[in-house]
């Protein structure tokens, strides 16, 4: 119901041109998406504990060994647009890696984000191992500017959205930023590629979720493979 409320409020914005159609598609949560989110959380929970693992050891002197051991970063802040499933992905990864998280989603997904964060906080608290406050949701737009200035409290900032959005975050904060580029993804089919597999990969990479930034935008095919591959790819698409 929360997501339906957000989607209904967004539809007039799409009609007026204030929001793009792909952004609306990313906002909507179908039963399939919810199931995928749940599967993703279970997959993260099933991963080996990433903390306290010695990645490297160097003997400096007799009875003196230097070790590099994995540990939490501390507080991870994530600012993202539209996609409420991003909240679940980021929060679950932060919890698994022992980090507290501060999450700020787009106002178009306010009701969904509020519901999702509440469920995650309840789940964390019920585990007995993680305090509910290890996950915080920031909702007010003005709080984002305050968040960007808190390099004394936030250890890593992760923006997810358009290239312009990521650049804005980088330019307005002294916090270390883990951003991404344009998301213009290529798939190359070599002469030696398995044709049937290449067709399946092409179909999946483009059609499984066309609205996301890692859907392929460019298909490159070896000239000696084109005659065999392209008709089959066109038929599949």
In degrees and rounded to multiples of 5, residue 75 shows phi and psi of -115, 120
Number of domains in the chain: 2
pLDDT over 90 (residue 52): yes
Among the candidates 181, 205, 226, a domain finishes at: 181
Of 212 and 16, the structure prediction assigns the larger pLDDT to 16
> So what's the pLDDT on residue 183?
66
Q: How far apart are CA 29 and CA 85, in angstroms?
A: 8
pLDDT over 80 (residue 75): yes
Q: Are residues 93 and 201 in the same domain?
A: no
CATH (domain of 229) = 3.40.309.10
Q: Are residues 158 and 127 in the same domain?
A: yes
Of 81 and 118, the structure prediction assigns the larger pLDDT to 118
Q: Are residues 199 and 223 in the same domain?
A: yes
pLDDT over 80 (residue 180): no
Q: Which of 72, 68, 66 is nearest to 50 (CA)?
A: 72
How much is the pTM? 0.75
Element (H, E) at 157: strand 156-160
Q: Are residues 208 and 166 in the same domain?
A: no
Residue 75 lies in a domain: yes
**Four-residue CA torsion sign, 214, 219, 220, 225:** positive
Q: Are residues 96 and 158 in the same domain?
A: yes
216: containing domain:
183-237
Burial class (CB in 10 A: 0-12, 13-18, 19+), 187: middle
Q: How far apart are CA 94 and CA 74, in angstroms?
A: 9
| Mean of pLDDT values over 169-183 | 84
Most confident of 83-92, 93-102, 108-117, 130-139: 93-102
Residue 26 lies in a domain: yes
Q: Are residues 109 and 123 in the same domain?
A: yes
pLDDT over 90 (residue 48): yes
| Mean of pLDDT values over 201-206 | 92
Q: How far apart are CA 190 and CA 219, in angstroms?
A: 11
Residue 53 lies in a domain: no
pLDDT over 90 (residue 233): yes
% residues pLDDT > 90 (the chain): 53
CA 180 to chain centre: 11
Q: Are residues 209 and 127 in the same domain?
A: no
Q: How far apart are CA 214 and CA 119, in angstroms?
A: 28
């Amino acid at each position: 119901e929360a997501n339906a409320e957000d989607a209904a409020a967004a539809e007039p914005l799409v009609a007026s041109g204030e929001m793009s159609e792909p952004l609306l598609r990313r906002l909507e949560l179908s039963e399939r998406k919810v199931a995928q989110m749940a599967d993703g959380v279970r997959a993260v929970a099933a991963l080996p504990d990433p903390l306290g693992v010695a990645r490297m050891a160097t003997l400096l002197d007799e009875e003196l060994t230097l070790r590099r051991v994995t540990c939490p970063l501390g507080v991870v802040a994530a600012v993202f647009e539209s996609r409420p499933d991003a909240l679940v992905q980021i929060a679950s990864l932060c919890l698994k890696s022992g980090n507290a998280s501060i999450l700020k989603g787009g106002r178009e997904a306010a009701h969904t984000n509020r519901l999702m964060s509440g469920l995650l906080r309840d789940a964390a608290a019920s585990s007995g191992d993680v305090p509910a406050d290890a996950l915080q949701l920031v909702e007010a737009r003005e709080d984002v500017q305050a968040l960007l200035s808190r390099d004394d409290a936030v250890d890593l900032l992760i923006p997810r959205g358009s290239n312009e959005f990521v650049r804005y975050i980088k330019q307005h904060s002294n916090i270390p930023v883990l951003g991404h580029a344009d998301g213009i993804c290529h798939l190359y089919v070599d002469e030696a590629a398995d044709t049937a597999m290449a067709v399946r990969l092409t179909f999946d990479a483009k059609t499984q979720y066309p609205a996301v930034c890692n859907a392929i935008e460019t298909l490159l095919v070896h000239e000696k493979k084109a005659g065999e591959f392209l008709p089959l790819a066109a038929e599949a698409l």
